[in-house]
Amino acid sequence: MSATVPHPETARVAAVEIAGLTKRFGHTEALRSLTTNIYPGRLTGLVGPDGAGKTTLMRLMAGLLTPSSGTVRVLGFDTVRNAERISELAGYMPQRFGLYEDLSVMENLDLYAQLRGLESDALKEHFDRLLTFTRLGPFTARLAGRLSGGMKQKLGLACALISSPRLLLLDEPGVGVDPVSRQDLWRMVHAQTAEGVAVVWATAYLDEAERCDTVILLNEGQAEFAGPPGELTATLTQRSLSLSHPKQDRRVVLSRALNLASICDGVIQGSSVRVVLRQGAGRDEIDGLANEVGAEIVPVAPRFEDGFIDLLGGGPGGTSALAESMAPVTLRSDLAVECRELTRRFGDFVAADHVSFQVEKGEIFGLLGPNGAGKSTTFKMLCGLLKPTAGEALVAGLNLRTATSDAKSQLGYMAQKFSLYGLLSVQQNLEFSAGVYGLTGAAKRTRIAEMIEIFHLQGYLKTSPEDLPLGYKQRLALACAVMHQPPVLFLDEPTSGVDPITRREFWTHINGMVRKGVTVLVTTHFMDEAEYCDRVALMYQAKMIALDAPDALKGKAATGGREQPSMEEAFIHLIESVDAAYAAAPPRAVA
Amino acid sequence: MSVGARRSDLDLRRVLALSRKESLQIIRDPSVILIAFVLPIVMLFLFAYAVSLDIKQVPIGLVMESDGAEAQSLAAAFAATRYFAVTPARDRREVVGDLLGGRLRGIVVIPQDFEQRLASHVPQPLAQVVTDGTQPNTASFVAAYARGVLTGWQASRRSPRVGTLSLEPRFWFNPEIESRRFLVPGAIAVVMTIIGTLLTALVVAREWERGTMEAIMSTPATVAEIIVGKLLPYFALGLSATFFATLVAVTVFGVPLRGSWLTLIALSSAFLFPALGQGLLISTVAKNQFIAAQVAVFSGFLPAFLLSGFLFEIDSMPAPIRAFTYVVPARYFVSSLQTVFLAGDVWALLLPNAAALVAIGLVLFALVRAKSHKTLDG
Amino acid sequence: MNWRSPRLTAQIRKELLSVLRDPKARFVLIGPPVFQLLIFSFAATLDLTNVDIAVYNRDAGRWGYELVARLGAASFVHRLRQARSSDEIRGMIDRREVIAAIVIAESFSGEIGALRPAKVQVIFDGRRANGAQILLGYLNTIMGGLNAELSGQPGAIRESLAVRHWFNPNLIYRWFIVPSLGGILVMFVTLLVTSLSIARERELGTFDQLLVSPCTPTEIIVAKIVPALLIGTTLGLFMATAGIFGFRIPFTGSFPLLLASLLLFIVSIVGIGLMISSVCSTQQQAILGTFTVGVPAVLMSGFATPVENMPRVLQWLAQAIPLKHYLIILQGSFLKALPPSEIFAHAWPMAVIAVVTLSAATFFVRGKLQ
Looking at the structure, tell me whether residues C81 and C174 fall in a common domain: no
Q: Rounded mean pLDDT of A578-582? A: 83
Q: Determine the residue type at B320.
A: P
Say yes or no to pLDDT of A93 above 50: yes
In Å, how far is A374's CA from the nearest CA of chain C? 18
Q: H-type helices in A39-119, by residue range?
A: 54-61, 83-89, 105-115
Domain membership of residue A37 (yes or no) is yes
C-chain residues within 8 Å CB-CB of A384?
A: 211-212, 369
Average pLDDT, chain B: 84
Which pLDDT value is given to residue A237? Answer: 83
Which pLDDT value is given to residue C133? Answer: 82
Q: pLDDT tens digits for A108-132? A: 888 888 888 777 667 788 888 888 8
Q: Say which range, A138-152, A442-456, C260-274, has the weakest mean pLDDT.
A: A138-152
Selecting from C51, C116, C130 the residue whose C-beta is nearest the C-beta of B53 gives C130
Looking at the structure, tell me whether residues A26 and A129 fall in a common domain: yes
Residues of B at the A interface, defined by Cβ within 8 angstroms:
2, 4-5, 7, 11, 13-14, 16-18, 20-21, 24-25, 28-29, 210-212, 214-222, 374-377
DSSP notation for A311-378: HTT----S--HHHHTSPPP--SSSEEEEEEEEEEEETTEEEEEEEEEEEETT-EEEEE-STTSSHHHH
Looking at the structure, tell me whether residues A33 and A84 fall in a common domain: yes
% of chain B exceeding 70 in pLDDT: 93
Q: Does B33 touch chain C if contact means CB atoms closer than 8 Å? A: no
Selecting from C5, C18, C208 the residue whose C-beta is nearest the C-beta of A421 gives C18
Q: Which residues make beta-bridge pairs with A277? A: A263
Looking at the structure, tell me whether residues C175 and C290 fall in a common domain: yes
For residue B335, what are the contacts with CB-CB under 8 A and spacing of at least 6?
B309, B349, B353, C96, C127
Q: Closest chain C residue to B352 measured between Cα atoms?
A: C95
Q: Which of A364-368, A417-421, B175-179 has the highest mean pLDDT?
A: A364-368
Distance between CA atoms of residues B314 and C48, nearest Å: 10
Q: Which residues make beta-bridge pairs with B85? A: B59
Which pLDDT value is given to residue C48? Answer: 81
A528 in Cβ contact with A207 (< 8 Å) = yes
Which pLDDT value is given to residue C1? Answer: 54
Domain membership of residue A195 (yes or no) is yes
- Report which of C92, A38, A114, C168 is spatially closest to residue B11, judged by C-alpha positions: A114
Burial of residue A591 (CB within 10 Å: 0-12, 13-18, 19+) is: exposed
Average pLDDT, chain A: 85
- Note the pTM of the prediction, 2 decimals: 0.82
Q: pLDDT tens digits for C97-145? A: 999 999 999 988 888 888 788 889 999 998 888 788 888 888 887 887 7
Distance between CA atoms of residues A480 and A432, nearest Å: 9
Say yes or no to pLDDT of B4 above 80: no
Looking at the structure, tell me whether residues C255 and C346 fall in a common domain: yes
In Å, how far is B365's CA from the nearest CA of chain A? 22
Selected residue with higher pLDDT from C368 and A319:
A319
How many distinct structural domains can be found in chain C?
2
Selecting from B14, B211, B374 the residue whose C-beta is nearest the C-beta of A114 gives B14
In Å, how far is B357's CA from the nearest CA of chain C? 17
CATH number for the domain spanning A309: value is: 3.30.70.100
Q: Which of C150, C180, C213 is the last residue of a domain?
A: C150
Domain membership of residue A368 (yes or no) is no
Q: Rounded mean pLDDT of A309-326? A: 81
Instruction: Return the partners of chain B (3 or more C-beta pairs < 8 Å).
Output: A, C
Q: Which of A272, A300, A319 is the last residue of a domain?
A: A319
Instruction: With a threshold of 0.85, tell me whether the complex ipTM lies above it.
Output: no
Burial of residue A449 (CB within 10 Å: 0-12, 13-18, 19+) is: exposed
Q: Rounded mean pLDDT of B67-88? A: 89
DSSP notation for A247-296: SS-HHHHHHHHHTSTTEEEEEEETTEEEEEEPTT--SHHHHHHHHHHT-E
Which pLDDT value is given to residue C361? Answer: 87
Looking at the structure, tell me whether residues A172 and A287 fall in a common domain: no
Domain membership of residue C163 (yes or no) is no
Looking at the structure, tell me whether residues A171 and A54 fall in a common domain: yes
Q: Do A421 and C10 touch (CB under 8 A)?
A: no
Distance between CA atoms of residues C302 and C300, nearest Å: 6
Looking at the structure, tell me whether residues C217 and C357 fall in a common domain: yes
Q: Which of A297, A319, A341 is the last residue of a domain?
A: A319
Q: Does B60 touch chain C if contact means CB atoms closer than 8 Å? A: no
Which pLDDT value is given to residue A537? Answer: 92
Q: Do B7 and A84 touch (CB under 8 A)?
A: yes
Which pLDDT value is given to residue B102? Answer: 82
Distances (CA, A) of B90 to A404, B108, B147: 67, 12, 21
Domain membership of residue A376 (yes or no) is no
Burial of residue A247 (CB within 10 Å: 0-12, 13-18, 19+) is: exposed
Q: Do B315 and C196 touch (CB under 8 A)?
A: no
Burial of residue B209 (CB within 10 Å: 0-12, 13-18, 19+) is: middle
Based on its alpha-carbon atoms, the radius of gyration of chain B, rounded to whole angstroms, reads 28
Distance between CA atoms of residues A149 and A369, nearest Å: 12
Domain membership of residue A73 (yes or no) is yes
Q: Does C312 touch chain B if contact means CB atoms closer than 8 Å? A: no
A209 in Cβ contact with A304 (< 8 Å) = yes
For residue A49, what are the contacts with CB-CB under 8 A and spacing of at least 6?
A219, A312, A471, A499, A500, A501, A502
Looking at the structure, tell me whether residues A97 and A135 fall in a common domain: yes
Looking at the structure, tell me whether residues A61 and A176 fall in a common domain: yes
**Residue C34: which domain range?**
6-44+169-368
Looking at the structure, tell me whether residues C241 and C186 fall in a common domain: yes
Which pLDDT value is given to residue B5? Answer: 37
Based on its alpha-carbon atoms, the radius of gyration of chain A, rounded to whole angstroms, reads 24
Looking at the structure, tell me whether residues C196 and C175 fall in a common domain: yes
Residue in B37, B234, B313, B347 to test binding to C, most C beta-carbons within 10 Å: B313
B-chain residues within 8 Å CB-CB of A59?
A: 214, 376
The most distant pair of C-alpha atoms in chain C lies apart, rounded to whole Å, by: 93
Looking at the structure, tell me whether residues A149 and A251 fall in a common domain: no
Determine the number of helices (DSSP H) and then strands (DSSP E) in chain A. Answer: 22, 24
B-chain residues within 8 Å CB-CB of A146?
A: none
Looking at the structure, tell me whether residues C363 and C259 fall in a common domain: yes
Looking at the structure, tell me whether residues C192 and C240 fall in a common domain: yes
Say yes or no to pLDDT of B195 above 60: yes
Angle C38-C42-C44 (CA atoms, 0-180°, nearest 5)? 115
Distance between CA atoms of residues A390 and C104, nearest Å: 89
Which pLDDT value is given to residue A315? Answer: 77
Looking at the structure, tell me whether residues C243 and C291 fall in a common domain: yes
**Residue A283: which domain range?**
235-319
Looking at the structure, tell me whether residues C300 and C199 fall in a common domain: yes
Which pLDDT value is given to residue A504? Answer: 87
Q: Closest chain C residue to B205 measured between Cα atoms?
A: C284
DSSP notation for B211-259: THHHHHHTSS--HHHHHHHHHHHHHHHHHHHHHHHHHHHHHTS-----S
Which pLDDT value is given to residue A564? Answer: 75
Looking at the structure, tell me whether residues A42 and A151 fall in a common domain: yes
Segment 133-152 of chain B within 8 Å of chain C by CB: 133-140, 143-144, 146-147, 150-151
Looking at the structure, tell me whether residues C285 and C216 fall in a common domain: yes
Burial of residue C313 (CB within 10 Å: 0-12, 13-18, 19+) is: exposed
Which pLDDT value is given to residue C369? Answer: 59
The most distant pair of C-alpha atoms in chain A lies apart, rounded to whole Å, by: 71
Q: pLDDT tens digits for A486-518? A: 899 999 888 877 888 888 888 899 988 998 889
A105 in Cβ contact with A144 (< 8 Å) = yes
Q: Rounded mean pLDDT of A145-167? A: 84
Determine the number of helices (DSSP H) and then strands (DSSP E) in chain C. Answer: 14, 5
Q: Do A102 and B28 touch (CB under 8 A)?
A: yes
Looking at the structure, tell me whether residues A148 and A276 fall in a common domain: no
Q: Which residues make beta-bridge pairs with B59? A: B85
CATH number for the domain spanning A18: value is: 3.40.50.300
Say yes or no to pLDDT of A403 above 80: no
Q: Do B317 and C45 touch (CB under 8 A)?
A: yes
B366 in Cβ contact with B280 (< 8 Å) = no
Q: Rounded mean pLDDT of B250-262? A: 89
Q: Which of A268, A301, A319 is the last residue of a domain?
A: A319
Phi first, then psi: what are they for C48, rounded to 5°?
Answer: -100, 125
Sequential pLDDT tens for chain C (370 residues): 566 678 888 888 888 888 887 777 778 777 878 888 888 788 777 778 888 999 999 988 888 898 899 898 888 888 999 999 999 999 898 888 999 999 999 988 888 888 788 889 999 998 888 788 888 888 887 887 787 777 655 444 456 788 888 888 888 888 998 999 889 989 988 998 898 888 888 877 788 888 888 888 888 888 888 888 998 999 999 999 999 998 899 999 999 999 999 999 999 999 999 999 888 888 888 888 898 899 889 888 888 778 877 888 888 999 999 999 999 999 999 998 888 999 999 999 999 999 999 999 888 877 765 5
How many distinct structural domains can be found in chain A?
2
Distance between CA atoms of residues A42 and A321, nearest Å: 43
Looking at the structure, tell me whether residues C247 and C107 fall in a common domain: no
Q: Rounded mean pLDDT of B99-118? A: 88
Domain membership of residue A439 (yes or no) is no
Strand-pair category, A214-219 with C77-82: unpaired
Domain membership of residue A565 (yes or no) is no
Which pLDDT value is given to residue C264? Answer: 95
Selected residue with higher pLDDT from A257 and B175:
A257
* Reported confidence tier of residue A172, pLDDT bands at 50, 70, 90: confident
Domain membership of residue A313 (yes or no) is yes
- Report which of A543, A488, A483 is spatially closest to residue A520, judged by C-alpha positions: A488
- Report which of C135, C132, C154, C142 is spatially closest to residue C66, judged by C-alpha positions: C142
Looking at the structure, tell me whether residues A182 and A289 fall in a common domain: no
Task: Dump strand ranges (E) for B133-208.
Answer: 165-172
Rounded to the nearest angstrom, the gap between the alpha carbon of residue A155 and the centroid of all alpha carbons in its chain is 19
In Å, how far is B42's CA from the nearest CA of chain C? 7
Which pLDDT value is given to residue C3? Answer: 64
Q: Which of C150, C180, C202 is the last residue of a domain?
A: C150
Selecting from A65, A90, A112 the residue whose C-beta is nearest the C-beta of B377 gives A65
* Reported confidence tier of residue A4, pLDDT bands at 50, 70, 90: very low
For chain B, domains (ranges, CATH) are 10-51+178-371 (no CATH), 58-157 (3.40.1710.10)
